[in-house]
Amino acid sequence: MTSTIPAPVVRTADGSTLQAVLLDMDGTLVDTEGFWWEIEAEIFQELGHRLDESWRDVVVGGPMSRSAAFLIESTGAAIGLAELSVLLNERFEARIADRVPLMPGAERLLSELARHNVPTALVSASHRRVIDQVLLTLGRDRFTMTVAGDEVARTKPHPDPYLLAARTLGAHPSRCAVIEDTSTGVAAAEAAGCRVVAIPSVGVIEPAPGRTVVRSLEDVDLAFLRSLIAPMN
């Protein structure tokens, strides 16, 4: 995790003050949510179990400890949580060793945020070892700081990761725009008091107060994110 100086308060013409942009990783910036499910199905098939497709909505977006525990309990597979977690991480790292496909619009948005010096955090439930490998593609210098799921006592859907990111950046949560793709991540960001942009990857996420749902990152730019933060008098 990278420590930083407080985020500057940048006023737009309408008085909006966006202090930071906090982004999820899997399914938001990189097209990897399907990779996790494929790997989980592959491992459990080797253990003699077939995963129910309906479980995908349950395990997506959450911490590995929760997802793995759910699959072990649901299948009755003879494998421990620690062993399964190691297998999942190792196979995911192998899967993305050659390439990490970016979501449409990710490269453009990250470049725009960097060009305008917007404090930006990558906030993921994935473990640090996985994040560090993905950052080889995304570019570590694109982010002021990063938060991994194994670096907080409680990860998503708890607000802790987003509260940590906002606090480290010196930003108020209500002045942070969060971009997420799962209901678990949305719940975490909203519990932290952030303004949320949801881009559903698996399952349905409905619009709600303080939440905007869009089709893809191609619909998101800095002007759009600034417009979501209410003007200050």
Residue reference for tokens 């008085």 = 15
Question: Tens digits of per-residue pLDDT, 3-48?
Answer: 344 454 444 434 458 999 999 999 999 988 788 888 899 999 999 9
- The encoded tokens of residue 174 equal 């209500």
Q: Give the closest residue to 143 by CA, choosing from 160, 173, 127, 119.
A: 119
The predicted structure's pLDDT at residue 226:
96
Burial class from Cβ neighbours inside 10 Å (0-12, 13-18, 19+) for residue 86 reads: exposed
Average pLDDT, consecutive stretches of 10 residues, N- to C-terminus, the chain (233 residues): 46 65 96 85 93 83 80 92 90 84 96 96 93 92 95 94 97 97 94 97 88 96 94 63
The predicted structure's pLDDT at residue 232:
62
Partners of 145 in the β-ladder:
121
